[in-house]
């Protein structure tokens, strides 16, 4: 056994009415990658927020022992001085600032009266090179993709002299190619002696990089598993620890639904980038979806999937629109207005539930009725009883785990937040649902529940368009799959006749990665 760098002893953290952590224990050896797994709401992020000082000493019980010293962090700066740096799931970058400015924001180079910009950009370029980025640190953050932004966050952590790096869902917004590159980068840091804790719901990533795996369930430590034992640790073994039972099927059986007539048809749809109108982000795309059908749209990062969905939804992304949209066989002109899209019975469940989908500071009740206030209002005055009843109805339908529908959405787990987002759009009574990464950042059990909801929607005659970066999800939940690359539809296949290999081969043939 190597040197113990971090030990968290009997950590207990309570929020009003909820014990988030109950005597949790964690040991991390120096130079290892330690995975922290569990269902949404299990307490993983809460434990890391205690460690990093986001929840200061005095707001929890128990001890943090780091490098042999009992630490009492009162703020995040205290933990960073010790070399403990956390990278959260939501990237903390300012789009209009340069890469270098972002990297040293709050850690400025120079002295209090003047920033040394030459040193700032020279240091930034040095750390960018360490994570494999060739971009100049003088470029604006908004000019680079999500995968590279994630690497900038890691470079930013390295610039803080990180000794223990905590990564919370680092690949949740990355495609498989970028995810593997990031995991390989972690392994290279490990060779250099860095210690890392990774929180992820992607269990194949756990098997790939982790030396040890600690399972947390319902705020308590269940077990720590050595991933280098005589037998490789299977995903099924990890899932059993997470949920307390074996899950034999990751995906529910699709009900046999014979699709009806074409509900929505998009023809020759072209959309241009809002900042760079010379660039087509959606290029002559034609797709259709029938009643009771689930179609999947798959592509690598930057393929144009989200841009396609958002442009259909009241032209909420892009400029220079052209093409035709038909609903029930009739041409429709939806104005540049989300409200107009909702009137035409189209819903868009965003991939960014925290930023664009939900109001975290408001209750489940308020969020549930937000897209259809007319249904709970009389003469523009909201009827509180109707609103409460609607929230209660969808709480039951979607099995949202909460003591009350008056609970703030920001206090819910990721899986339950996703259910509230679905409830919001289901309450709007759409005929067509555009689901953008509907299971991003949620655990295996919550994913299964979301899949069941999607099946129920299709069985009820709704038309579902599902965008996902997870190929197994697309193949198991769709009737047909459209494959996108560089703004174009490059293939259309029946899900039952497709494979992960055939879809990736189609993307490579179309020019990406060739």
Per-residue pLDDT, 1: 65
Distance CA 139, CA 2 (A): 42
Asked if the model's pLDDT at residue 512 lies above 50, the reply is no
Q: Is residue 198 part of a domain?
A: yes
Q: Phi/psi zone of residue 380: left (φ > 0), alpha (ψ -120 to 50 degrees), beta?
A: left
Based on the domain organization, do 307 and 237 belong to the same domain?
A: no
Same-domain status, 57 and 133? yes
Q: Are residues 160 and 271 in the same domain?
A: no
Predicted local confidence at residue 323, as pLDDT? 95
**Run of H or E residues at 178:** helix 176-191
- Cβ burial of 161 (10 Å; 0-12, 13-18, 19+) is exposed
Does 412 reside within a domain? no
Q: pLDDT, tens digit, for every residue of 214-223?
A: 999 888 999 9
From the number of C-beta atoms within 10 Å of its C-beta (0-12, 13-18, 19+), residue 314 rates as buried
Same structural domain, 260 and 118: no
Residue 407 resides in a domain: no
**Same domain assignment for residues 219 and 291:** no
Could you tell me which of 94, 103, 102 has the C-alpha nearest to residue 126? 103
pLDDT at residue number 513: 40
pLDDT at 368 (0 to 100): 96
Domain final position from 221, 243, 265: 243
* 182 & 274 share domain: no
| Structural tokens at position 413 | 């787990």
Question: Mean pLDDT across the stretch 81-107?
Answer: 87
pLDDT tens digits, one per residue of 263-303: 999 999 999 988 788 889 999 999 999 999 999 999 876 78
The residue that leads in pLDDT, 187 or 248, is: 187
Judge if 200 and 265 occupy the same domain.
no
| Contact yes or no for 34/210 (Cβ under 8 A) | yes
Mind listing the pLDDT tens digit for each residue in 151-189?
898 888 888 888 999 998 888 767 777 788 889 989 998
CB 296 within 8 A of CB 468: yes
Interval 471-496: pLDDT, tens: 889 999 999 999 998 899 999 999 98
Question: Is 463 found in the same domain as 315?
Answer: yes
Q: What percent of the chain has pLDDT over 90?
A: 57
Is position 359 within any domain?
no
Asked whether residue 115 is assigned to any structural domain, the reply reads: yes
Q: Bin 366: left if φ > 0, else alpha if -120 < ψ < 50, else beta.
A: alpha
Residue 380 domain-assigned (yes or no): no
- Report the distance separating Cα 60 and Cα 58, nearest Å: 5
Q: Of 357, 339, 346, which is closest to residue 266 (Cα–Cα)?
A: 346
Q: What is the mean pLDDT of the chain?
A: 89
pLDDT the model gives residue 82: 93
Report which secondary-structure segment, H or E, holds 467. strand 463-467
Q: How far apart are CA 227 and CA 190, in angstroms?
A: 15
SS3 for 132? coil
Give the pLDDT of residue 124: 92
pLDDT higher than threshold 70 for residue 514 = no
Domain-located, residue 392: no
Determine, yes or no, domain membership for 299: yes
If one compares 354 and 328, the residue with the highest pLDDT of the two is 328
Which of these, 260, 250, 227, lies nearest to 462 by C-alpha position? 260
The last residue of a domain, from among 184, 218, 243: 243
Number of folded domains that form the chain: 2
pTM beyond 0.75, yes or no: no
Average pLDDT over residues 233-253: 79
- Claim to verify: residue 142 and residue 203 sit in the same structural domain: yes
User: pLDDT exceeding 70 applies to what percent of the chain?
Assistant: 97
- Which H/E stretch holds residue 240? helix 235-243
Among 212, 218, 217, which Cα is nearest to 233's? 212
How does residue 248 score in pLDDT terms, banded at 50, 70 and 90?
Answer: low
pLDDT over 90 (residue 237)? no
| Residues spanned by the domain of 307 | 251-345+432-514
List the beta bridge partners of residue 114: 111
Is the distance from CB of 302 to CB of 315 less than 8 angstroms? no
Question: Same domain, yes or no, for 255 and 239?
Answer: no
Listed residues 224, 243, 262: the one ending a domain? 243
pLDDT digit string, tens, across residues 181-200 = 889 989 998 999 999 999 98
Residues 105 and 239 in one domain: yes
Residue 189 sits in the same domain as residue 237: yes
Maximum separation of any 2 CA atoms in the chain, in Å: 71
pLDDT given at position 501: 84
Which CATH number covers residue 90? Answer: 3.40.50.300
pLDDT tens for residues 364-389? 999 999 999 999 998 889 999 999 99
């Amino acid at each position: 056994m190597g040197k113990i760098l971090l030990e968290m002893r009997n950590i207990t953290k309570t929020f009003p009415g909820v014990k988030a952590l109950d005597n949790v224990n964690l040991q991390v050896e120096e130079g290892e990658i330690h995975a922290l797994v569990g269902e949404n709401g299990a307490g993983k992020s809460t434990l890391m927020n205690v460690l990093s000082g986001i929840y200061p000493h005095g707001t929890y019980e128990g001890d943090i022992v780091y490098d042999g010293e009992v630490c009492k962090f009162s703020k995040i700066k205290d933990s960073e001085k010790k070399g403990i740096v956390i990278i959260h799931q939501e990237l903390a970058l300012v789009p209009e600032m340069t890469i270098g400015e972002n990297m040293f924001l709050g850690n400025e180079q120079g002295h209090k009266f003047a920033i040394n910009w030459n040193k700032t950009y020279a240091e930034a370029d040095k750390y960018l090179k360490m994570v494999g980025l060739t971009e100049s640190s003088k470029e604006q953050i908004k000019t680079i993709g999500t995968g590279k932004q994630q690497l900038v966050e890691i470079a930013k952590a390295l610039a803080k002299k990180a000794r223990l790096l905590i990564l919370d869902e680092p690949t949740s917004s990355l495609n498989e190619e970028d995810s593997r590159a990031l995991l390989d980068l972690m392994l290279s840091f490990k060779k250099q002696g860095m210690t890392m804790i990774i929180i992820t719901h992607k269990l194949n990533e756990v098997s790939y990089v982790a030396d040890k795996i600690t399972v947390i369930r319902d705020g308590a430590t269940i077990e720590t598993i050595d991933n280098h034992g005589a037998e490789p640790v299977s995903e099924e073994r990890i899932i059993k620890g997470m949920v307390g039972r074996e899950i034999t099927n990751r995906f529910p059986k699709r009900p046999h639904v014979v699709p009806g007539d074409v509900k929505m048809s998009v023809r020759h749809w072209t959309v241009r980038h809002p900042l760079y109108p010379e660039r087509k982000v959606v290029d002559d795309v034609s797709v259709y979806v029938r009643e009771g059908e689930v179609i999947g749209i798959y592509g690598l990062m930057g393929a144009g999937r989200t841009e396609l969905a958002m442009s259909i939804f009241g032209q909420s992304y892009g400029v220079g629109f052209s093409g035709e949209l038909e609903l029930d066989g009739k041409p429709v002109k939806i104005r540049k207005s989300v409200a107009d899209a909702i009137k035409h019975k189209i819903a868009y469940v965003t991939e960014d539930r925290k930023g664009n989908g939900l109001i975290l500071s408001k209750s489940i009740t308020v969020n549930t009725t937000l897209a259809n206030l007319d249904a709970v209002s009389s003469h523009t005055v909201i009827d509180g009883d109707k609103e409460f009843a609607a929230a209660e109805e969808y709480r039951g339908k979607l099995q949202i785990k909460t003591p009350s529908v008056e609970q703030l959405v920001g206090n819910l787990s990721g899986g339950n937040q996703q259910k509230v987002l679905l409830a919001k759009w289901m309450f709007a009574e759409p005929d067509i649902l555009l689901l953008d990464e509907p299971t991003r950042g949620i655990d295996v059990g919550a994913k299964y529940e979301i899949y069941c909801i999607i099946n129920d929607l299709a069985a009820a005659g709704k038309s579902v368009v599902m965008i996902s970066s997870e190929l197994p999800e697309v193949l198991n939940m769709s009737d047909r799959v459209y494959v996108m690359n560089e703004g174009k539809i490059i293939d259309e296949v029946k899900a039952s006749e497709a494979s992960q290999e055939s879809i990736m081969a189609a993307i490579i043939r179309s020019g990406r990665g060739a």
